[in-house]
């Protein structure tokens, strides 16, 4: 009986670890990102701007055209686009949580709708896990609010765009 219990427990652990590995940076190619929007998986490969499928970070330095230094991430595949800014002069391995500080610090275009951090309770949480040789990796989650086509905010839609299991691997940063 103990052996049966132990074997069942080991089988359960093996199944859990296989499921866990599907949300792992090892499964992504360098330069790619993926995330789920309200449960639907979006994968963006870094093929190139001309192909309409790309990803990248750019460091904006504080100056006359921007009031703060930031690392800006953008990834796009056709009509699906995600972008966010990590306001920092020096990116570190840590978690960055962006509440509603500056409108549109985080933006996602999904199925013809743009969602942003605009209402209290909206957020983007980014965990930088690697930053070396101009390559950045990490994961993210978010709760955003859609902008209606007319552009007026609708409080009944607040926080309805939920991003989970976001990953990006070895995304090149331009300086």
The residue with greater pLDDT, 149 or 125, is 125
Of the candidates 47, 44, 23, 41, the one whose C-alpha atom is nearest the C-alpha of residue 32 is: 44
Q: What is the pLDDT of residue 26?
A: 78
pTM: 0.79
In this structure, what token pair is assigned to residue 105?
Answer: 């610090």
In this structure, what token pair is assigned to residue 30?
Answer: 């360098």
Tell me the C-alpha distance between 78 and 50, whole Å: 11
Binning pLDDT at 50, 70 and 90, where does residue 11 land?
very low
SS3 assignment, position 77 = strand
Domain definitions of the chain by residue range: 30-174
Q: What is the pLDDT of residue 5?
A: 31
Mean pLDDT on 166-175: 96
Mean pLDDT on 60-76: 87
Give the range among 66-75, 123-132, 138-147 with minimum mean pLDDT. Answer: 66-75
- Report the percentage of the chain scoring pLDDT > 90: 49
- What are the tens digits of pLDDT across the range 14-63? 334 333 334 467 789 999 999 999 999 999 999 998 899 999 999 999 88
Torsion from C-alpha of 117, 122, 24, 60, nearest 10 degrees: 30
Contact status, residue 84 vs residue 97, Cβ threshold 8 Å: no
Q: What is the pLDDT of residue 24?
A: 65
- What are the tens digits of pLDDT across the range 98-134? 764 444 478 999 988 899 888 888 899 999 999 999 9
Length of the chain: 175
Q: What is the pLDDT of residue 8?
A: 33
Tell me the C-alpha distance between 135 and 117, whole Å: 26
Binning pLDDT at 50, 70 and 90, where does residue 150 land?
low
SS3 assignment, position 24 = coil
């Amino acid at each position: 009986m103990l052996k049966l219990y132990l074997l069942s427990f080991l089988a359960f652990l093996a199944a859990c670890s296989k499921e866990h590995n599907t949300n792992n940076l090892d499964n992504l190619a360098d330069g790619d990102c993926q995330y789920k929007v309200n449960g639907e998986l979006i994968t963006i490969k870094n093929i190139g701007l001309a192909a309409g499928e790309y990803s990248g970070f750019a460091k904006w330095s504080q100056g006359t055209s921007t009031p703060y230094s930031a690392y800006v991430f953008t990834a796009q595949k056709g009509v699906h686009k995600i972008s966010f800014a990590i306001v920092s002069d020096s990116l570190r391995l840590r978690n960055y949580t962006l509440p509603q500080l500056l409108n549109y610090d985080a933006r996602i275009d999904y199925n013809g709708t743009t969602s942003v951090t605009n209402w209290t309770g909206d957020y983007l949480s980014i965990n930088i896990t690697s930053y070396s040789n101009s390559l950045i990796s990490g994961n993210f989650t978010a709760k955003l609010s859609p902008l209606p086509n007319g552009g007026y905010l609708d409080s009944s839609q607040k926080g309805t765009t939920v991003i989970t299991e976001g990953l990006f691997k070895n995304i090149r940063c331009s300086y």
